[in-house]
Amino acid sequence: MKSALKELYTESRRDFDVWSYLWLFSDENNSIEFSHTELCGRFSLPLTTLYRTLKIYPEIWKETGIIVTQERLMKKNFKITFEFVKVKKRIAPPKEVTLYDDLFDWLKKHYAKINFDYADISYHKNKIKTICDKLTKAMKDRKTEVTDDSVKETFHVFFENIDSWWVNNGNITLPIINKNFTKILNQIKSNHGKNGEKRDSYSKAAEQVDGIDYDKLTKQQ
């Protein structure tokens, strides 16, 4: 009840005064008898406001284990009783790890490996899906089989082969890469064409990158 009253104190000082009074002056059974006229006079409240105050909070507090019951007695008196029950904590089901979660973890290691301090990477996580969608569309246009593994492999190759200019100038945050996706992809294709070792090293995924239709991708941006 203490935490509920603290929260109520910040929300409505007037409602806090009413419920604090009812709680503090309840008996050993956590009950208190009163009349609406008495409370209205004590706290200078219109009757309609008192009705609202007595009705709204018991419904809210029920979720935290505070059960407030109200009874109508004779001679226009009422009785409120506070009861406290233990609320079972809901155990959230284990979160399913998605392809984008996997790539996000990989990217954090990748940026650390190239000594790039990317403090805002968590805020840019949504760009991973955007970049994956562009790669996936290009793979489908080329009729390349699209699976989580093939997308993941192509994604790795894409980031591992970004031209050194972007790295050296610090322009490798996810929003920048996404914005310049087609330009970066063209550079990767050009570099693979000149360097046979890279083509051998990343054979399958590199072929997927090399075969992308860049004109279609440009129209997507």
Yes or no: domain 2-84 corresponds to CATH 3.30.56: yes
User: Looking at per-residue confidence, does 74 or 21 come out higher?
Assistant: 21
Distance between CA atoms of residues 206 and 157, nearest Å = 7
Residue 50 has pLDDT above 50, yes or no: yes
The structural domains of the chain, with segments of one domain joined by +, span 2-84, 99-220
The answer to whether 33 and 77 have CB atoms below 8 angstroms apart is: yes
pTM reported for the whole predicted model: 0.47
pLDDT digits (tens, 9 = 90+) for 54-72: 887 777 777 777 888 888 8
pLDDT tens profile 144-179: 888 899 999 999 988 998 888 888 887 789 999 999
Residues in the chain: 221
**Tokens 């840019």 -> residue:** 124
Q: Helices (H) and strands (E) in the chain — how many of each?
A: 13, 3
What confidence tens digit (pLDDT) does each residue in 10-42 have? Answer: 777 888 888 888 888 888 888 888 888 888 988
Kindly state the average pLDDT of the residues 70-98: 77
